[in-house]
Amino acid sequence: MAAGADSCFLGFDFSTQQLKVVAVDGNLEVIHQNSVQFDSELPEFRTHGGVHIHEDKLTVTSPALMWVKALDVLLEKMRNTGFDFSRVKAISGSGQQHGSVFWRKGARRTLNQLDPQKHLHHQLQECFAVRDSPVWMDSSTSDQCQCLETAVGGAQRLADITGSRAYERFTGNQIAKIYHSKPKEFSETERISLISSFASSLFLGDYAPIDYSDGSGMNLMDIFEKQWSRVCLDAAAPQLAERLGDLTPSTAVLGCVSLYYTERYGFAESCNVVAFTGDNPGSLAGMRLQEGDLAVSLGTSDTVFLWIRGPRPSVEGHIFCNPVDCSAYMALICFKNGSFTRERIRDECAGGSWECFSSALRATPMGNNGHLGVYFDVMEITPHFAGVHRFNAEGQRVASFEHEMEIRALIEGQFLAKRVHAEKLGYKIIAGTRVLATGGASSNKDILQVLSDVFSAPVYIIDVTNSACLGCAYRAVHGLEAEAGASFTETLRNAPEPQLAVRPAPGAQEVYAPLMLRYAALEDQLLKDHQKSQHLL
Ligand SMILES: Nc1ncnc2c1ncn2[C@@H]1O[C@H](COP(=O)(O)OP(=O)(O)O)[C@@H](O)[C@H]1O
Ligand SMILES: O=C(CO)[C@@H](O)[C@H](O)COP(=O)(O)O
């Protein structure tokens, strides 16, 4: 790698609950980490878990200005620790996927003329035509999803173009909802960004393009042609192409940081901004996923993702363009009931302590003596139903489990679901399979042990639980070399390898192989019951 050891690269992650940053030096060693928690450090925005859940329980938004203020606070925290911004050669970053920011007419001029004497949030407060941005947890756009699928010729046809059938959180459907429900705000909008491209716009002092990988999560982009799909744009809203701007390769250098950052924080004028992307694509880069590996991210959402070459989009799961290799793809499955559900069960069954939660996992046997649970506190994405459902070893529904059993049922249920759905996508666990874990809950070894047992495969972790930040610091390094043709793997060959965290316990395969079949059948039945109750069958 070309950079000297005294140079440095930053990776930001605008995720659901916090803004985080990781800095690596020219030897790819992590030299700084910092974060801003939205709920506790920016209480004036009154978020819970970084979001506002509206009265209908379906609409979920976050104030765009909160993310701007978080950046003010984060950069000041870094400066207060003596962080030397003049060493930074390039930055990149990621954002929670699918969320959208609606810039008001005139916002571009404000971005172009940022005054280094003032905070960003003071200057940008009038710049959003829609103050509360829809985020990935929103599930209020079923009607728009139906319209889009009808317009293109069905769910599979939409997946063949965009990599996914219509999903409520996907940006095109969210834009269609805003167009119909807030026509005035829509007409005042000059640009629509994803959270990732909104964040890079803050650094560039100008509108940044949406990258191919995060752009794949919109139901608007043709993932094979890597351009907007005319039929999808037309189905969502008028004059959308001009409001979305161009798409860009995820490895592209977009320009240099604006004067605001050089004058206020001492960044070098030559500091490059490499395209920002989605947090899951960022994690793929951070874990340096190889073909054959399976990554499990245990953040606010839980996701499973894979590196793939010959994508075959289907009506389950998503195909995104690969963020580090333009000729490849990634498959992703998202589960909405992740950390918040684990926190609820921790509070109800383990006195609010992760240590007690872990003790319960250690005290209970693999397979939970046949007790199985499905814990969907909110409408799940994969599969699409809600509710808490508990079953005893005989398959009979029961109303409750004792505390320790409940904790194991939750974690086993979450991981059985991941394996069942990964295998539905065609993934096979074979000898040599590595499961790479990341996200906040990957710091919990007892949770990782269950993951390893359910998948009957060793689990690896990287030092930094936030692989999206690390991945984006790596992408910043690679961005400077990508134009000359260097591959991500070559550029990152000296980065630390993921470390083995846990191996499956003896006998795990025998316990979980039959449980997987049982879980899959149960989930199918619960889905059918839900569809019947909604008159969908
Ligand atoms: N020791 C732990 N055991 C299990 N979960 C944990 C532990 N520590 C933190 N977490 C979970 O990590 C979550 C945050 O994960 P993170 O990946 O940072 O989220 P995001 O990137 O979506 O903001 C918290 O909501 C919390 O539930
Ligand atoms: O919707 C998805 C992926 O499709 C989520 O994974 C979001 O990208 C949110 O990420 P976290 O904040 O939970 O990491």
Separation of CA 26 and ligand 1 centre (Å): 29
Say if 8-281 and 288-461+506-537 have the same CATH topology. Answer: yes
- Shortest-distance ligand to the CA of residue 301: 2
- Shortest-distance ligand to the CA of residue 411: 1
Rounded distance between C-alpha atoms, residue 435 and residue 514, angstroms: 20
pLDDT at residue 535, as a whole number: 72
Ligand 2 and 98: CB distance under 6 A: yes
Can you tell me which atom of ligand 1 is nearest the CA of 441?
Answer: 5
Can you tell me which atom of ligand 2 is nearest the CA of 301?
Answer: 13
Rounded distance between C-alpha atoms, residue 197 and residue 189, angstroms: 16
**Segments in the chain below pLDDT 70:** 1-3, 536-537
Can you tell me which atom of ligand 2 is nearest the CA of 278?
Answer: 8
H or E stretch including 430?
A: none
Separation of CA 466 and ligand 1 centre (Å): 10
- Shortest-distance ligand to the CA of residue 465: 1
Domain coordinates of the chain in residue numbers?
8-281, 288-461+506-537
Tell the CATH superfamily of the 8-281 domain.
Answer: ATPase, nucleotide binding domain (3.30.420.40)
Question: In this structure, are residues 299 and 283 in contact, taking their beta carbons and an 8 Å threshold?
Answer: no
pLDDT at residue 3, as a whole number: 64
The three-class DSSP label of residue 359 is helix
Ligand 1 and 95: CB distance under 6 A: no
Query: Ligand 2 atom 6: the closest Cα is on which residue?
Result: 301
Query: Ligand 1 atom 5: the closest Cα is on which residue?
Result: 441
- Shortest-distance ligand to the CA of residue 282: 2
Query: Ligand 2 atom 2: the closest Cα is on which residue?
Result: 97
Ligand 1 and 354: CB distance under 6 A: yes
Ligand 1 and 439: CB distance under 6 A: yes
Residue 141: exposure state from Cβ atoms within 10 A (0-12, 13-18, ≥19) = buried
Contacts of 332 (CB under 8 A, 6+ apart): 280, 303, 304, 305, 306, 317, 318, 319, 320
Query: Ligand 1 atom 7: the closest Cα is on which residue?
Result: 441
Ligand 1 pocket check: which of 300, 447, 469 to mutate, most ligand atoms within 8 Å of Cβ? Answer: 300
Separation of CA 321 and ligand 2 centre (Å): 16
Look at strands 272-274 and 88-95 and give their pairing: parallel
Select 288-461+506-537's CATH number: 3.30.420.40, 1.10.580.10, 2.30.30.140, 2.40.420.20: 3.30.420.40
